[in-house]
Each structure stands twice: as structure tokens, then as C-alpha cells.
Amino acid sequence: MIFIHESESVISAVERHSKKNGLYLIFIDGAYAFTVHEDVLIKHRLLKGERVDPDRLRAALEDEELQKAWSDALRQVGRRPRSEKEVRQYLKRRTYEPPIVDRVVTRLKEHKYLDDADFAAQWTEQRIYSQKKGRRWVKQELQQKGVAPATIQEALDQVPVDEEERLAFELGQKKWKLTSGGILDKKRKTAAFLMRRGYSSAIVSKAVRRIAELAPDERRGEDEDPDMWDWPDA
């Protein structure tokens, strides 16, 4: 914690940080007081010989905290797209106070670095097309990331059902070929696999039936479980 004298003080020295570019060490009345970013230094005229009152120092320190939170947030959204909830949780873990978090989030939105609709669209496309996950899986992930239900639905609606069916079929074919047993065993195991990947029972049913019909040299005539395709989509 930085101690601020309740009286006017004098900045006795200003030194560049020896290891971190853009940071400066501020000395008040001959003793080290705190470190600030160059932008804060300039904004508050924290120059050698300046006389500063407590309110001016508090304002400078608040801006420094805001600058640090902003830099931390930029690093987070720079690694990959983030939802607003993710950024808020991250800044909270970094022990920033709610007013600082609110200001940073607002600024991120203004600069288009934070947009839940864009985030949900990118996340959905990556999960469905690259990882071949079903929309139930994607919906659950986006819910956990704090994206609004309407925004989630809008992102999912951008994926045609026939595309999801195609991806489920391709994934199911690979699973089928690696699965041992009779045709009923293969149907069960392939269906269970696709359900775990987040595909709906309707898409799973269609994919598995088509795979079974196209599978060469499979034993036919085995009784099919009548409840096989009645699994819930929840």
C-alpha cells in the first residue's frame, strides 16, 4: 500500500525503470513513493521539483491502476477472443476494484476489442467446423462464458443444419470404422459418441442410419433397440 501524506509534497526525483520500458519511478521528499506509466506521468505532470497535493497524487495513482488494468485486459483479449464475463472474471482475479473493471470493460467495448456477438460467432464457427462439436456443446460453453441466450442463438443460427449433419456424418464414419462388434454395437457406440460431442438426437439418428446403410460387409438383420433414438437432447 502506498502512503500519501495529507499535506503538500515535493517530487524530488523521477527515474526511468531499469527493466520495464515506459515506466518511471517517482520519489517524493527524497524517498521512493511509487511507479507510474509514462502516460500517467505526463497527464499529471509528475516532474522533478513539482509540488503535489494529496488529491493530485490520489488521482495519479487511480489512473495508474486503470492503466495497469487496461494493459492486463489487452493482453487477455490479444491472446484469443474473450467474452465480457471472461474479462471481468480475469480482472477480478487480478484484484482490481469493480469501478476500475467497469471502466476498462467500457473502454474495450468502445474500441471494439470486446463484443459478445462477435465472440459467440467466432467461437461457434471454430467449435463446429474445426472441432466438429454439435450445437448443444457450443451452447453450453457459451452459456458458461456468460453470453446472453439471444446472442448465443443468433450465432448458432448462422450454421446451416445440413452442415452440422454433414460434419456429424463424417465424424461418425471415423468412429464407426474404429469400433468393433456387430452392427448393433457399432450403432450404439457411434451414436453415444456423437451425442457426447453435442449433436442432437435427430442429427445422430440420421447420421448413424446413413453410416450403417453405407457400411460394407456388415452383418444385417440384427434387431435394433427401439429406444436407441429416444435419448434426450438436454
Q: Would you state the pLDDT for residue 233?
A: 55
Residue 97 DSSP one-character state:
-
* Model confidence pLDDT, tens digit, residues 135-178: 999 999 999 999 999 999 999 999 999 999 999 999 999 999 99
CB atoms within 10 A of CB 227: 7
For 74, left (φ over 0), alpha (ψ -120 to 50), or beta?
Answer: alpha
CB atoms within 10 A of CB 217: 4
Q: Decide the pairing of beta strands 31-37 and 51-52.
A: unpaired
Q: For residues 208 and 154, what is the distance between their CA atoms, to the nearest angstrom? A: 28
pTM of the model: 0.79
**What Rg value do the Cα atoms of the chain yield, rounded?**
29
Cα(first)–Cα(last) distance of the chain, in Å? 50
